Each structure stands twice: as C-alpha cells, then as structure tokens.
Amino acid sequence: MLEGSILYQLKTAHQPGQVGKRSLNFGVYYKNTLVALCHALEDCILTASSKPLVIAAFQRGKWYLQEADRYAALAEKSEHVVIMAAPDTGFAEHPTSQRANVALVNLEPSDPVAQEWHLMILAPTYSAMVLCQELSAEDYGKSGLPQHDLERKFYGFWTFETNLVQETVELAIAHIHRYNPSLAQALTAQMQAISAQTHERDDLGAVVSRVVTYLQAGQADLNQIGQSDRLPLHQDILDSNLLSNEVQAFLRMAQLTDQADAINPHAAAEVAALAEAMGQLLDLPSWQLNRLKLAGLLHRLAPLQRTETVLSPVEFRYSEDASTAPSCPLVPGAQVVRTMPRMRAIATIITHQTEHWDGSGQPAGLAGDDIPLESRILGLATEFQQRVASLQAETRNQEEPLTTAECMAKALAECQQEQSKRWDPKLVDTLSLLVCGLQQGLSLSVNLPKISAGLWLIDSHCGDNLFGEVVEEFEVRG
C-alpha cells in the first residue's frame, strides 16, 4: 500500500487501538468486479431521491474518458462531481469536463492517488464508497502481471457506512487542497450541508438490489467471454469474486441496521450464534447449520424491518413454477435477497420467520411442520435475543440491574408462555436446554464474519427450494 495514498491514510486511522475507530476488513478485487460494482453505485445516482457529492479517482485520464459520457448524465443528478486522475490527451477537453458542477484534479504522476481507484458518493439519503489501490508488480509475485485486463487486482474495500464515507471524503478533500484550495473549500461546505440534513436513508434497499443485479450481469458477461475462449485462465476465480461481493452487499446492508440500533447493536451476530447452537443441539447437518448462520446474519435487513407485517394468508402467493422461490412482494427485505438465485433458501427462511406454530402468523399463515424448520429456529432465536437485549437496556440504569443470566431466564419464561401457540414446542425445549448451558458457563462464539471474505457462507444448499412438492398446497390455501 502506497504511503500517502487515501487508502493508506484511512487504514492508518483505523489501526487497532485507535480510540473511537474500528479496524477495517480489506480484500482483493478483480477489475471486472470493480467495474460492475462502480457502475451499479454510479447508476444509483440517476434514481436516488437526493443529489450527492461525488468524488472519483480514475488513475489515468484515459480511464475517465471511457466513462465521460456516462458521467455527464451523473452530473445532471449530482451536486458536484470531482474527477481525480493523472491527465491524458483529451482529459480536460471532453464536454463533460466543461460542465459547471464537474471539476478535474490533475494528479501528478508521482502522486500515490494516481494508483488508486475510488468512488465516493455522499448524499442525504444514502452513501456508498469503493476504495481500492492497484497491486504492484511485486505484489503479484511469481505469477507475474496478469495477461488479461479483467484479471488486474486491486486491494481495498467498499461500504455503505455513512461515517466511513464522510471520513474518506474529508481525506480526499484534504488531498485536493494541495492542487486546488478553493475547490477544496467549496467541497467542504457541500459535505457539511449534506451531513447536516436528516433525511431518512431510504435509498439503500434499491442500491443493494442494483449492486447485486449488476454483479450478476458481470457473471453473465464473464461466461460469454469464457465461451469465446478470450479468457482461458482464471474464469472461476473471477466468477467467485463477483459472487463474493453479492454476499457482501447483503451483509453490509444488515450491518448498517445493527449499527443504527443503539439498544441492540449486536443482533445479527448474536442471533446467528443462537440459531446455530440450537441447530447443533438438534444435530442438524453442517450445510443446514451454515444456512441458519447466514439467515441469522441477514435476518433484520433494513427494508424488512420497516415493513409492517399486516398480511393475511389470502394475500400470500407462491409462484406457479416450483423451481423458483416463493414470492412475497410486500416483504421487500426478503425480495432484495431473492434477487440472488443462490440465496433462494435464505430468502425463504427470512420470509417465514414470523409464522406461528398455530397458524396465526404471517405472511402465509403456515402452521406446524409446514413452516420451514430453519424459519422456526430463526424466529425463536430472534425473539429471545431481542427480549434479552431489551431487558438489559431497560434495567441498565437501575440500582440493581438484571444480570445477563436473569435476563435470559426472564426472556425464556416469556417464550415458554407462547409454547405451542407461537413457537414450536420442541424448539422451546431446545432453547431451554441451551439457556441452561449458558447459565452454567457455556459460551457461544459471537463474531461477525469478515465481510470481505463472505463467499464461505454460500454453498449449494443456499439455493434450495425449501417447499419442494408442497408448493401447490400453499397455492390452493391462498
């Protein structure tokens, strides 16, 4: 990593031990992944409900010129667009560069930022950022430089976290100040104006959906290249990198939901650990435990949490095609996940976590064993974890706050009162056994996975149709 680059400065600011800062997870991204990812985030500007400040670094002006026509449309929907790059012929002469709200920063060839690929989008309703630096010839090692342009590697990360985007924008503005102080001053004012606005960040669901769609399109393009024999090597690696980033999009979205919850900021990791532990007590196979863990990490996606569950069984419809996932258009959080076919089972598990054992739940009014087992486990683990977190928050400022063991005992008792009504009685017994173990010293590993390495969470069973041959029964019931 080049000293003095924006990526280097951000990583240094987040070294372990820095007060108020957490360490960042970095990964390696291939050029084909970055192209799909950046195009998705850029095109979100065209449909967003607010105008962003956009700062991009293209390494050299020739890469910007390939995108300059697109950036004219983006500038129409943006407050300000700043392009940083080492200048090439035509860099400043392109019509997009002449627009009043488009500014060019001519980087010196020796400037470390000239080796970086950045896209920062800061808007009142959403934020997104890609921050990468191309690997050097030494970094490639014995394998040498790639023969195909799509196989070029970049080190960095991407995120939807507003605080990180704003922190990086501030670093970029400080770097721009070296070249154009007046521009830096104007950008600071715009950034402060955007940060002062308190709009609901309601564009994120659409952003994530677009990111996944573009990454999937990138996979299709890659397959076509492979069939034409123009990319004989490493196609499977490039495909896996795209797939990994699709999973990362969902995990980052769920992470933001937890970060916004002051009372229950660790819900995803704790629910995933509880659900996985219950599955282990039930002696479920490893592939099913893996699905439970992923569903737990994604169980409270932001759009899903904002949706009022007012569906009745007659409003629920399954697809006529048994090979596709059930369709619940009024549960957008699950719909976002369902845009990725390899996550079909996860979407189904999340959708039906609010069903009740006695059939009074939503969205389908399923009862008993008709409810997918993983949905029953996830629903109970989620409810128990939320009740424990609420009890801890409610009593935290009391003279004698409840201990964790006391909170768990009370939350368990509340779940037991709904046994055979809301919850599967066998699973309540399983939860009781787990709580007993926790009270006696059993510990669960509660850790969020490294998001930049999310591919390990996906296996062939994550795309299963959990209803199989019983789809027609649900259609008749509806």
Compare 56 and 144 and report the one with higher pLDDT.
Answer: 56
Domain membership flag for residue 106: yes
In a domain? residue 226: yes
Residue, of 266 and 234, whose pLDDT is higher: 266
Q: Report, as an integer, the average pLDDT of 326-355.
A: 68
The single residue listed with the structure tokens 């609901």 is 200
Tell me the mean pLDDT in the region 107-112.
Answer: 91
Size (the chain), residues = 478
Alpha-carbon gap, residue 45 to 473, rounded angstroms: 43
Query: What CATH number corresponds to the domain at position 206?
Result: 3.30.870
Residue 325 has pLDDT above 50, yes or no: no
Confidence of residue 235 (pLDDT cuts 50, 70, 90): low
Domain boundary among 198, 214, 244: 244
- Whether residue 189 sits in one domain with residue 229: yes
Instruction: Grade residue 257 by pLDDT with cuts at 50, 70 and 90.
Output: confident
CB 191 within 8 A of CB 169: yes
Do both 216 and 320 map to the same domain? Answer: no
Lowest pLDDT segment from 46-55, 158-167, 456-465: 456-465
Q: Do 299 and 468 meet the contact criterion of CB atoms below 8 Å apart?
A: no
What is the rounded end-to-end Cα distance, in angstroms, of the chain?
A: 57
Given pLDDT bands bounded at 50, 70 and 90, which one contains residue 415? Answer: very high
Q: Do 365 and 429 belong to one domain?
A: yes
Does residue 83 share a domain with residue 228?
yes
**Same domain, yes or no: 172 and 283:** no
Contact 330, 311 (CB under 8 A): yes
Are residue 226 and residue 310 in the same domain, yes or no? no
Report how many domains make up the chain. Answer: 2
Residue 177 has φ and ψ, to the nearest 5°, of -60, -30
Residue 475: pLDDT over 70? no
pLDDT of residue 181: 97
Which residues touch 291 (CB under 8 Å, ≥6 apart)? 345, 346, 349, 374, 461, 462
What pLDDT is recorded for position 320? Answer: 33
**Judgement on whether residues 123 and 231 belong to the same structural domain of the protein:** yes
The Cα–Cα gap between 153 and 383 comes to: 43
Give the residue with greater pLDDT, 105 vs 334.
105
Which tokens hold the place of 385? 């974890």
Least trusted range by pLDDT, from 53-67, 134-148, 423-437, 445-459: 445-459
Question: If you average pLDDT over residues 204-214, what whole number do you get?
Answer: 77
| Higher per-residue confidence, 435 vs 315 | 435
Is residue 462 included in any domain, yes or no? Answer: yes
Mean pLDDT of 214-228: 63
Please provide the DSSP assignment of 109-131 as one string.
TT-GGGGEEEEEEE-SS-EEEEE
Cβ–Cβ under 8 Å, residues 217 and 316: no
Within this chain, do residues 53 and 190 fall inside the same structural domain, yes or no? yes
CATH of the domain at 434: 1.10.3210
pLDDT at residue 234 greater than cutoff 60: no
Of the CA atoms within 13 Å of residue 38, those in its CB half-sphere come to 24
Q: Do the Cβ atoms of 96 and 78 come closer than 8 Å?
A: no
Residues 105 and 238 in one domain: yes
Tell me the C-alpha distance between 350 and 443, whole Å.
26
Residue 345 has pLDDT above 80, yes or no: yes
The pLDDT of residue 452 is 52
CB atoms within 10 A of CB 384: 24
pLDDT given for residue 52 in this prediction: 94
Domain end residue (candidates: 219, 244, 269): 244
* Domain C-terminal end among 244, 271, 290: 244
In the predicted structure, residue 233 carries a pLDDT above the cut 90: no
Is 256 within the bounds of a domain?
no
Q: What is the mean pLDDT of the segment spanning 421-429?
A: 97
Q: Based on the fold, state whether residues 167 and 77 are members of the same structural domain.
A: yes
Residue 204 tokens, joined: 């994120």
Q: How many other C-beta atoms lie within 10 A of the C-beta of residue 214? A: 22
The Cα–Cα gap between 116 and 29 comes to 13
Given this model, what pLDDT does residue 201 score?
60
| Domain-embedded: residue 279 | yes
pLDDT at 329 over 50: no
**Residue 336 burial (10 A CB sphere; 0-12, 13-18, 19+):** buried
Q: Is residue 35 part of a domain?
A: yes
306 pLDDT exceeds 60?
Answer: no
In the chain, pLDDT over 90 holds for what percent of residues?
41
The pLDDT of residue 75: 95
The chain-wide mean pLDDT, for the chain, equals 80
Out of 70-84, 183-197, 325-339, least confident range? 325-339
pTM: 0.71
Average pLDDT, stretch 168-182? 96
pLDDT at 478 over 50: no
One domain for residues 200 and 273: no
Confidence bin at 239 (pLDDT 50/70/90): low
Residues 10-37: pLDDT tens digits?
999 998 777 778 778 788 888 888 888 8
Q: Is residue 317 in some structural domain?
A: yes
Most confident of 75-84, 147-156, 259-268, 451-460: 75-84
Q: What is the mean pLDDT of residues 124-146?
A: 82
For residue 278, tell me if it sits in a domain.
Answer: yes
pLDDT more than 70, % of the chain: 79
Same domain, 362 and 470: yes
**Looking at residue 433, what is its pLDDT?**
96
Between residues 357 and 60, which one has the greater pLDDT? 357
Higher pLDDT, 77 or 337: 77
* CB-count exposure of residue 165 (10 Å: 0-12, 13-18, 19+): buried
pLDDT band with cut points at 50, 70 and 90 for residue 344: confident
Domain containing residue 63: 6-244
| 473 confidence band (pLDDT: 50, 70, 90) | very low
Contacts of 305 (CB under 8 A, 6+ apart): 257, 333
